Structure 1
Amino acid sequence: MLARHSHAGAFAAIVLAGGYVEAGDTGRHRVVAGDVLFHHAYEAHLNRVPRTGAEVFVLPLRMPRAMAIHGRIADPDTIVRLAERDLAQATGALLDQVQSRATVIEDWPDMLAQAILADPNMSIGAWASDHGLHPGSVSRGFRQEFEISPASFRVSVRAQRAILALGEDKALAQVALTAGFADQAHMSRVLKKATGQTPKRVREQHAQVGGSADPRAKILSELS
């Protein structure tokens, strides 16, 4: 298993062979060859890979994620070949070809993650009660799947909302309130911990490269 980690730039993970389960700031996704997971900058996740492993092509994106998180393409090898010559052309082809895949809900950790993503201000205790679960069991069970507690997941969701909103022309105080933080100072502390950057610096990165990684940094990796 690859423990929970984050990337400084936006990217698409294209599965070429095998499969794995990813659990992170956008929920839990089960992917196989031909699937694509889009990630925005500083998004954190873990990967559970079977013994057979998985082959993944990581395509840096010079843009914030502005589409479905989980998609599928018919011919991932074509994207890889294009990326060897022109990353911009490969990105365009990927966005043209990808078909959205619906999030699969298999158990209550999936349900809770999606509920928090829909409303980061929700009461986790009330959710547990509504589903006949003990709050302590919910915290332990969720942590087992995501490596963080539901409360920490909620903070991460708020942070990701703020990071994306910083790409818009909004006052920092407005971004903080919209994302669910108590105030701008609270948002600044959380973003500094999550990204190592101040909100102002994150905004500057949006302006420079759309929150992306180095466009030369294409990576072909084996997960095991």
Structure 2
Amino acid sequence: MSQSVFWRDPVLPFVELRQVEDGRSLCYAPHSHLEWSMGAITRGESTFVLTDRVHQVEAGTLVCINPDRMHVCNPIEGRPWAYLMLYLDARWLAAQRFRLGLSASPDWQDLAPDVMRAPEVFNAFLSLAARLFDPGLPAAAKENALLDFLALLLPRLGTAEAPDIPAKLEALADYLGGDHAAADMSLEAMSRRAGVSPGHLIRRFKQHFGMTPHAYVINRRVQRGQRALRQGRAIVDAALDSGFADQPHFQRMFKRLLALTPRQYRRSSGPQQKDAAPGEQGRQAPVEPA
């Protein structure tokens, strides 16, 4: 049975940490995060897929994932697997690189490599995680520990070439991922906006973003719902405001992409939030078209 624990603190909104002690039963669908993330495999091994690259990773390995990059990491045939995952706000991280003199601009640049095997950095990551999870450590000390870790890590990371995405396709992705993520848009309307046929749009979108336009929208909606849960919103409100027809649909998609339920995500750290009241459970929105 998998066990996930999250740490986050409203005083430090730019960082979140997840620990999975037994991931043998986890199953992630392809997804992406808004944040830059780094994982540390602490036990066992797994398959890590990032866009079109496949890595076999084992204990002692660090994986790095740029924002909005499709990825999936799952256990190998039920073998033991445990990991830590650090999520950092991309704008905040870009500012830290600029502060350290590692970038000429405070704007975000994708980082490389995908996988690191560096014992010094791995051990520092474990030390950082222990400090973040320490309930007796003040937020200021945790922030200093994070900055110390980044001072060690960031000089080892280079910049990666930005993906070459056709302008109309990128504009469509921006449209779908922005304020319109919660609104319904047919494949035909997406195709007209991109100036290509529906079949061509699906192929090109999957080539550049690692998922179909529909899957991309669902991923964005889950991201919006996740952000709402971090802000203390009721699950039903996070679901409906993110564009899901109802709370059960949100819960299914959330678990499919993040391998835990919205309630588990919200309960696992920070001040305890109340779940939706019985009356909220029945709140409904019009069922979206199939």
1:106 is matched with which residue: 165, 187, 190?
Answer: 165
Partners of 1:159 and 1:187 within 8 A in 2: yes
| Shift in CA distance, 206/135, structure 1 to aligned 2, threshold 3 Å | farther
Partners of 1:128 and 1:138 within 8 A in 2: yes
Listed as ranges, the matches of 1:17-36 within 5 Å are 25=32
Normalization by structure 2: what TM-score? 0.45
Partners of 2:251 and 2:261 within 8 A in 1: yes
| Shift in CA distance, 46/154, structure 1 to aligned 2, threshold 3 Å | same
1:115 corresponds to: 175
| Shift in CA distance, 111/26, structure 1 to aligned 2, threshold 3 Å | farther
- In the TM superposition, what is the alpha-carbon distance from 1:151 to its structure 2 partner? 0.4
Question: Which structure has the higher relative contact order (CA within 8 Å, separation 6+)?
Answer: 1
Percent same amino acid at aligned positions? Answer: 22
Partners of 2:172 and 2:194 within 8 A in 1: no
| Shift in CA distance, 40/115, structure 1 to aligned 2, threshold 3 Å | farther
- In the TM superposition, what is the alpha-carbon distance from 1:146 to its structure 2 partner? 3.0
Matched, 1:87 2:128: yes
- In the TM superposition, what is the alpha-carbon distance from 1:127 to its structure 2 partner? 3.1
| Aligned equivalents of 1:171, 1:197: Cα separation in 2 | 17
- In the TM superposition, what is the alpha-carbon distance from 1:183 to its structure 2 partner? 1.4
Question: Structure 1 stretches of 5 or more lacking a match?
Answer: 1-6, 12-22, 28-36, 50-55, 209-224
RMSD, aligned α-carbons: 4.6
1:46 is matched with which residue: 41, 46, 50?
Answer: 50
| Aligned equivalents of 1:129, 1:153: Cα separation in 2 | 17
| Aligned equivalents of 1:46, 1:115: Cα separation in 2 | 24
2:73 corresponds to: none
Normalization by structure 1: what TM-score? 0.56
- In the TM superposition, what is the alpha-carbon distance from 1:70 to its structure 2 partner? 7.5
Large movers: runs of 4+ above 3 Å: 7-11, 56-62, 64-67, 69-72, 80-86, 93-98, 103-106
Q: What SS is found at the alignment partner of 1:170?
A: coil
- Equivalent position amino acid for 1:106 in 2: I
| Shift in CA distance, 47/135, structure 1 to aligned 2, threshold 3 Å | closer
| Shift in CA distance, 57/196, structure 1 to aligned 2, threshold 3 Å | closer
| Shift in CA distance, 81/165, structure 1 to aligned 2, threshold 3 Å | same
- In the TM superposition, what is the alpha-carbon distance from 1:201 to its structure 2 partner? 0.6
Listed as ranges, the matches of 1:137-152 within 5 Å are 137-152=200-215
Matched, 1:129 2:192: yes
**Cα deviation digits, residues 146-175 of structure 1 (max 9, x gap):** 332100111111112112221222211111
Partners of 1:142 and 1:148 within 8 A in 2: yes
Partners of 2:206 and 2:213 within 8 A in 1: yes
| Shift in CA distance, 135/25, structure 1 to aligned 2, threshold 3 Å | same
| Aligned equivalents of 2:219, 2:212: Cα separation in 1 | 11
